Structure 1
Amino acid sequence: MVECLHIRIATWKVWFLPFLCVSSTDFRSDCPTNWFGPNCQFKCHCNNGCSLTGECTTDGVCESGYFGYLCQYRDLAKELDQTAPELTDNEDTTCLKDNPQSVSMQMLPGPFSFFRVVVNKARAEAVDLITFELLNFNTKVTCEDGSYSYKTELFIKYFYCMTATSVTHLVLSGNGVPYLCTVNIGGGRNLALKGAFKYSSIFEEGINVAGGVDGEYPRNGIFENSMCFHANMSQEYSFYQVFFQVPVLIDYFLIINRPEPQFLMRMKNFELISIDDMNQTLMRFVEDDPAFSNSIVYKVAHTSNQIPLLSFRVQKHRLNLMDVLQFCEVEAYGDCPEVMVGLDCADLCNFKCVDQRCETSGRCVQCHAGFYGEHCDLECLHCASRNCTRREGYCIDGCLQGYHDSNCTTVCDKGTYGLNCSMKCGDDCPTSCSPDTGVCLNCPKGKFGSKCNYDCSPNCGGSGACEAIYGYCTEGCEEGFYDYGCSKECSMHCKPPCSQSDGSCPNGCLHGYTGTRCTVVCPPFCGGNKSCDLTTAHCADGCMKGYWDPICSSTCYNCVEDTCDQYTSLCTIGCKAGFTGSNCSSAMYSTMSDAEGNVHIFLSLGIIIIVLTLSLGLLCRKKEPNYPAISEF
């Protein structure tokens, strides 16, 4: 990825070094000795030289005073003499000998960020038995956002604790202290090295304006134009401003004065200003302490070390002839902001890292469950509980069923399945079962089921083969059967063949039957061959005599030979005697003379009167009392 720095141009003279556009992946092969990087902007701090990418070429040991990723981190534990010198001798195999339960490491006052400990390899577990406390002389200092730690090796551990206040002592305690071999205190990386800069003026031609950030110092105790910066002595105000490629976090600044003792006081009363990416001042420091006016090295703590800054400026206002802005190097020590990684802080930490927290190299401090690798971009897919080791991806709780080996990436060998591949496939599928469940993937001809222990349906067509798991016939059914297992018979009233998927009769039904599978009997009074429509069941060849309507369920009325139209009920031959109308539903009546009618009426009335008279006489007879005869008295 390529990132470019854009700087607001002022009216001052401005120099931009060529690494303003930096690739975090390309490294040049023609860098000068002890330099590396895409634009040779990173300095080698290895004991015996670096590779093109900055790795130490031989023993992997950093030069004294540096440690960490590519030996880029300054070791604050080397600034002062320690009570346990074996912990700062740059040798990880020399360890404490007197079995102390605690050890105190002193440092010059300044913000704290992290430290590194190395314990005896033979007692690697001791690294987890070490605790720490930070002090500002006798006052306890707490971490701003809590602390965290992680191991890069079983016996090497990093502890992170960012502070806004100064720290003077790191106190280590616990049962692991007796096995300590090395303690490094993180002093950050010089992020100003070969940075972009601008300046007000120079003293004379030949002054190397880049000398303030070139990483080189005079070795002979004399100011050198090629390595140092010297502003014009006649100007009332002079400055030197350094720009970072991206906003960074800075803990402290170092200003390396010119080496001659008689000129040290010229930097007295200098100012240092830090500026954020909105061009707002974060900190203004004024050197006004007489005790440090003649310092060879000025160390200025950055009181806004939790806020990213984009540049800083060293400046002087001329009060007398001896006030001159001159130095051989300005350095800014710190690190990338959160989630940014790389020597140039131009890359993002992988989101698969827990809390998106990475080392400078981009290596994740911790992976989310189920991931491993330097950047947590590899998955331990087949580990039980998705729990695997961070570096190699070894499955801690074993494998899921169907897999084996340390990474659980190898499928069970043929013929085996289950947990640790300890089960054997069934006798009927010895080489083709599922590695996790043991279900047979291919059964012998005529067999199916998870263990190939069921017979295919005898009604399967073709070769009689069926699908291995559920027994579906793969070559269709024998004629007269349908469904996936060919277990259902086609209707005997279906004109063959029936559909093998649902048993329907695409060629129709035999006479007298209807329905999709010809299982419905046609109406009983259909005429002709008794056939009816497959969908509506309407009689296709008319009705039997005496019936009508589409399904022949209604009777004809008084039609000759009981014959009427199927759809209108009209008598097609005519009506029976005595009936009339379009459908013969009306009876017929005969006509006669009035005299004949009257005779009929009188005769009828006479008959009625005679019947009534006889009926009354019989009734009265039954009601007379039974008196005895006179002769009986």
Structure 2
Amino acid sequence: CPSGCAAGYSGESCTQVCPSGTYGIGCASTCSPNCAADGSGTSVCDAANGTCLLGCKDGYMSPMCTQACDSGWFGKGCMYKCQCLGNVCPTNGQCSGCQPNWFGPACQYADLTQASSLPSTQPSLTDNNDTTCLSASNLMSLDVIWSMPYAFTWMRITVQNPALLNTFTVVYNSTRVACITLRNATVNNQTLDIHCEQIGLVSQVTLMGSGVSSLCSIYVSGGRDVALRQNTTQSSTYATYGSDKAVDGNTDPQFSITNTCTATNLETNPSWSVRFSIPEAVNRYVLYNRDTNPERLVNFNFTSLNSANAVVYNYMDASTTPLSVYTIVTTTATVSTVTIQLSGTNKLLTICEFEIYGDSACAVGMYGRNCEKMCNCANNNDPCFVSTGGCPSGCAPGYLGESCTQICNPGKYGAQCGLSCSQNCMGSGTACSNIDGTCLQGCKTGYKPPTCQELNAGNSYKSSFGAIVRAVVGAVATLVIAMKF
């Protein structure tokens, strides 16, 4: 090519694609270091224009991942709203404390206890402080009561006495219906996640057992807002009131002042839709109305579809007067698309925020906000929790923590990191595999690999033979001394 190769190619005949990690004319440009990396650790981008093919690393956005997240947002593609104390989040969202009403991994899970009876009856359990605990020493049960029913999926409790962590049972409603398939996962020696298979909507959850008197905190999951910054469309757009403003994390209802709401033109059957990047297990919808002309939203309807475009939930508003906030709770359904519509002519559809709560509908063995992480459980047939990666069967040998990703401390290995490396490992007594105790630098002389716990056969023989020789020599010496006297 007399004029040179096209962008993304090189070589004598311009057929050689740029090496991984490079792009552009003559492959002279380097992919952004903020591009997500492939299995080899190399940032991957389009050979022609540098667009990051695997998305961005946590904390960055834009096609070439050159733009850092706006303040208050974090994660891959800056898709997640910071709920950490002080509204300050690192790029992965992990922080030491959450704002009120939030808990869990990266503080992304709404805490339903704040809407229950607990803040008034047991404020120490809902103050977001795991060091303030109950003072009643003989309490054996505790009720969490709501004025409206919710879909119960999981809860987190912390206790003062670690010995009482696994002493709880869970029942529902005033009739004390038992939790179906209770599954627990230990976060640490004072924190436990409790999951139940859903039995329908509940308005009361009761904790029972000797551990109740040791409770310090209770969090009941209301799910994550899975609609945030997802792909949206609407049937038309009035002025600058684009469809994305319904999932921007801003619930301000001031339509004319803040410009944070959506709006269509006046038309027949206006609609707005959101499509999730992966299927989501949804059980709660919260719709925020505008402050002026709120009656325009009366008698809206919305439909939730799965990935096969089959209807899994349909809601029709039957109110005659508008509400500022509509909350619709359902049993959990796997959803890919949600569409809101107003029926009739000369209708204008405005949404100031549409929060949709649930969690990722991951395949068995996967977890995380994008189902991108693999469970690391002791028993692969008993998969981890989608929300945290916690394992009811315990972590795989060599690992600890909420999601079983924390490697044992040096010198420890095995299930629950409960075993110690052999002192016969070369290097030091800490130089062994966190999984099975294999001494990474081999054994000291005379000990048998891989864990160096046993003497090898030759050394055992030599030791025994030496003991015999020493005994014979000692006996002869004793006899000689006796003969002299």
> What TM-score results when the alignment is normalised by the length of structure 2?
0.71
Q: In 2, are the aligned partners of 1:216 and 1:329 still within 8 Å (CA)?
A: yes
Q: In 1, are the aligned partners of 2:281 and 2:361 still within 8 Å (CA)?
A: yes
Tell me the residue number matched to 1:279.
309
1:242 aligns with 2:282: no
CA distance in 2, matches of 1:253, 1:21: 33
Tell me the residue number matched to 1:296.
324
1:216 aligns with 2:254: no
Equivalent positions of 1:383-398 (< 5 A) are: 388-390=414-416, 393-395=417-419
Q: In 2, are the aligned partners of 1:223 and 1:258 still within 8 Å (CA)?
A: no
Q: In 2, are the aligned partners of 1:141 and 1:165 still within 8 Å (CA)?
A: no
Tell me the residue number matched to 1:74.
110
SS at match of 2:78: coil
Distance 1:451 1:218, change over 3 A: same
Q: Which amino acid aligns with 1:244?
A: F
Q: In 1, are the aligned partners of 2:164 and 2:211 still within 8 Å (CA)?
A: yes
Distance 1:268 1:418, change over 3 A: closer
SS at match of 1:148: strand
1:102 CA displacement: 1.7
SS at match of 1:115: strand
1:104 CA displacement: 1.0
Q: For 1:333-364, what per-residue CA distance to the aligned partner results, in whole angstroms no more than 9, with x for missing partners?
A: 11112433222234443586532324545465
CA distance in 2, matches of 1:252, 1:21: 33
1:312 CA displacement: 0.9
Q: For 1:392-450, what per-residue CA distance to the aligned partner results, in whole angstroms no more than 9, with x for missing partners?
A: x3328x979989769644465335679997xxxxxxxxxxxxx6343227xxxxxxx95
Q: Which amino acid aligns with 2:344?
A: R
Distance 1:114 1:351, change over 3 A: closer
CA distance in 2, matches of 1:117, 1:366: 18
Q: In 2, are the aligned partners of 1:22 and 1:39 still within 8 Å (CA)?
A: no
Tell me the residue number matched to 2:457.
439
1:254 CA displacement: 0.9
Q: Which amino acid aligns with 1:252?
A: R
CA RMSD of aligned residues (A): 3.8
CA distance in 2, matches of 1:95, 1:197: 44
Distance 1:26 1:379, change over 3 A: closer
SS at match of 2:458: coil
Q: Which amino acid aligns with 1:266?
A: R
Match of 1:317 among 343, 350, 357: 343
Match of 2:262 among 226, 229, 236: 229
SS at match of 1:253: strand
CA distance in 1, matches of 2:398, 2:209: 32
1:119 CA displacement: 1.4
Q: In 2, are the aligned partners of 1:342 and 1:361 still within 8 Å (CA)?
A: yes
Distance 1:176 1:356, change over 3 A: closer
Distance 1:155 1:378, change over 3 A: closer
Tell me the residue number matched to 2:85.
47
Match of 1:63 among 93, 96, 99: 99
CA distance in 2, matches of 1:369, 1:266: 55
SS at match of 1:356: coil
Tell me the residue number matched to 2:12.
none
Q: Which amino acid aligns with 1:27?
A: G
CA distance in 2, matches of 1:198, 1:37: 23
Q: In 1, are the aligned partners of 2:288 and 2:324 still within 8 Å (CA)?
A: yes
Equivalent positions of 1:19-34 (< 5 A) are: 23=55, 25-28=57-60, 30-34=68-72
1:357 aligns with 2:379: no
Q: For 1:24-58, what per-residue CA distance to the aligned partner results, in whole angstroms no more than 9, with x for missing partners?
A: 854327111111122111110001210111122xx
Q: Which amino acid aligns with 1:205?
A: A
Q: Percent identity?
A: 25
Q: In 2, are the aligned partners of 1:228 and 1:258 still within 8 Å (CA)?
A: yes
CA distance in 2, matches of 1:337, 1:178: 35
1:329 aligns with 2:353: yes
SS at match of 1:327: coil
CA distance in 1, matches of 2:250, 2:53: 23
Distance 1:363 1:184, change over 3 A: closer
Q: For 1:463-506, what per-residue CA distance to the aligned partner results, in whole angstroms no more than 9, with x for missing partners?
A: xxxxxxxxxxxxxxxxxxxxxxxxxxxxxxxxxxxxxxxxxxxx
CA distance in 1, matches of 2:396, 2:349: 55
Match of 1:266 among 287, 296, 303: 296
Tell me the residue number matched to 2:445.
414
Tell me the residue number matched to 1:151.
186
CA distance in 2, matches of 1:257, 1:66: 23
1:287 CA displacement: 1.4
Q: Which has the higher strand share?
A: 2
Tell me the residue number matched to 1:87.
125
Tell me the residue number matched to 1:182.
217
Q: Which amino acid aligns with 2:127?
A: D
Equivalent positions of 1:554-633 (< 5 A) are: none
Higher relative contact order (CA 8 A, sep 6+): 2
Tell me the residue number matched to 1:110.
150
1:271 CA displacement: 0.9
Tell me the residue number matched to 1:125.
163
SS at match of 1:177: helix
Match of 1:196 among 220, 227, 231: 231
Tell me the residue number matched to 1:631.
none
1:185 CA displacement: 0.5
Q: Where does structure 1 lack aligned partners over 5 or more consecutive residues?
A: 4-18, 422-434, 442-448, 455-633
Distance 1:402 1:61, change over 3 A: closer
CA distance in 1, matches of 2:377, 2:357: 27
> What TM-score results when the alignment is normalised by the length of structure 1?
0.55
CA distance in 2, matches of 1:277, 1:37: 25
1:267 CA displacement: 1.8
Q: For 1:303-342, what per-residue CA distance to the aligned partner results, in whole angstroms no more than 9, with x for missing partners?
A: 4x1x4221111111137x6x64222111111111243322
- Computing the radius of gyration from Cα coordinates, the structure with the larger value is 1
Q: In 2, are the aligned partners of 1:401 and 1:418 still within 8 Å (CA)?
A: no
CA distance in 2, matches of 1:399, 1:186: 43
CA distance in 1, matches of 2:406, 2:55: 25
Match of 1:343 among 350, 357, 369: 369
1:92 CA displacement: 1.5
